[in-house]
Amino acid sequence: MSTRTSILAWLLLTGLVGGFGAFRLTSPDQTLYLPDQTSHGHHQIEMACASCHTPFGGVKDDACTNCHGEQRTAADSHPASKFNDPRNAGNLEKIDARRCVTCHVEHWPEGTHREGHTMPVDFCVTCHADVGTERPSHAGMSFTTCSDAGCHNYHDNRALWEDYLKKHLGEPVVLASAKVLPRGVAMVAKGPKSLAASNQDAPRTVAFSAALVSEWEESAHARVGINCSGCHSGTQGEWVNKPMLTICAGCHTEQNKGFGLGKHGMRVAAGLGPMSPGLARLPMRAEAKELEVGCESCHGGHSVNARKAAVDSCLGCHDDEHSRSYQRSPHFKLWEAEINRTASPGTGVSCATCHMPREKSSSSAAVVVQHNQNDNLRPSEKMVRNVCTSCHGVGFSLDAVADPELVRHNFAGRPKKHVASVDMVEKRAAQGKR
């Protein structure tokens, strides 16, 4: 083969490979470029490479903090400021703890921690090699057990702060006042008064049933003056049969923000199509696998039944052991009592009670429902402060979330695991130490 022919062949091959690569980069299917399996937290957005990767720049911290920054700044036990302190310069030579990717490297299945994220098992020893000497209670413990349930969390350690545990020593299993915060109004009034069926303003050309209007009339939307056109009008005033998610977000700003940060809505937030149960790694019901997850998946378009959203919608998709066990649990009995009005409001425990908890709004004093349904799942102790301790003592709560078998059976029974952290604090308190 002549030199000229070789060059032409090389150019042709380069052009074909480059063209194919460019085509693949514009394709919604980026599987070809995945170096390995993604973690549980990111597998839904693995086709949106740019969510994490900067072309020719790797993964920058901004890509992590855009999603996880608010959770870290709330109560980070290891903020960047700690490592910017010149006194810690020696430790930074061993491990640059200022950068997220130092510990969390994606596409590393063998390094995926049981909590669902990637992390080296021995990173604590770099800075805390002398902990056994500093705290005799830790002597002989393996550094691979630091993040065991009930011990230490690198970022959010609030449920295990020593002062917090000390304050709650000796609490009973069930508190005297066991109830969650009352749910507030999810939107502000749009009109001067509530609306009735006779006030509905759908065009005459639109076909709808009396049952549909009746559902709307009984809804929170009608009570705060939101008419049909409030949701069904397009940008030019045209009628839209199926409103987009952005219509809901126009009024439910905080709920939409949480939805986009959680596994239910993170695909939409990343510019991909909606989540469907068929894309999940957890077991899902076969009949639900093709559904698209959005506001109407749980709430319905007109009835906006919060009680349906709290249990029925969850069990309509989720088919793991924890979900299947719910209706055999003491929590479900409490929920049934509340919805049957034989128990006080706030005493029932639904799926949403724990996984979409009520909390004080970040912008007002109102109580809102957190729509990031995995906000308090990892680490598991996060659920203790904003959910479990509404009804239970701290010690019992920590033992319960530390028992994987009890979690699988949806807390039907007593924990067989015991978190020693509470005992350590109690011993130190008895010795008059901090």
Give per-residue pLDDT as tens, 230-271.
999 888 889 998 888 888 998 888 899 999 999 999 999 999
What are 422's two structure tokens?
Answer: 């509470």
Q: Which residue has the higher pLDDT, 355 or 139?
A: 355
Give per-residue pLDDT as tens, 107-142.
988 888 777 778 887 778 888 888 888 888 888 888
Give per-residue pLDDT as tens, 199-212.
999 988 887 888 88
Phi-psi region of 397 (alpha: psi -120 to 50; beta: other; left: phi over 0): alpha
The pLDDT confidence band at residue 434, using thresholds 50, 70 and 90, is low
DSSP 278: G
Q: Residue 25 above 70 pLDDT?
A: no
Instruction: Report pLDDT for 18.
Output: 58
Query: Using an 8 Å Cβ cutoff, are 376 and 386 in contact?
Result: yes
Burial profile 137-170: b = 16 or more Cβ within 10 angstroms, e = fewer: bbeeeebeebbbbbbbbbbbbbbbeeebbeebee
Give per-residue pLDDT as tens, 275-291.
999 999 999 999 999 99
What is the SS3 assignment for 369? strand
What are 344's two structure tokens?
Answer: 């006080």
Instruction: Report pLDDT for 409.
Output: 96
In whole angstroms, give the CA distance from residue 378 to residue 31: 27
Instruction: Report pLDDT for 393.
Output: 96
Instruction: Report pLDDT for 152.
Output: 82
Instruction: Report pLDDT for 204.
Output: 85
Instruction: Report pLDDT for 308.
Output: 85
What are 258's two structure tokens?
Answer: 């949480």
Beta bridge partners, 58, equal 54
Instruction: Please give the mean pLDDT across all residues of the chain.
Output: 86
Q: Residue 215 above 80 pLDDT?
A: yes
Query: Using an 8 Å Cβ cutoff, are 234 and 250 in contact?
Result: no
What is the SS3 assignment for 79? coil
Q: Compute CA 400 distance to the chain's CA centroid, rounded to the nearest angstrom.
A: 20
Domain boundaries, the chain: 31-146, 197-408
CA distances from 206 to 5, 219, 242, 409 (A): 68, 20, 12, 48
Cis before residue 379, ω within 30 degrees of 0? yes
Give per-residue pLDDT as tens, 371-416.
999 888 878 888 998 899 999 999 999 999 999 999 999 999 999 9
Instruction: Report pLDDT for 28.
Output: 63
Instruction: Report pLDDT for 1.
Output: 55
Residues with Cβ within 8 Å of 290's Cβ and at least 6 positions away in sequence, in order, are 276, 278
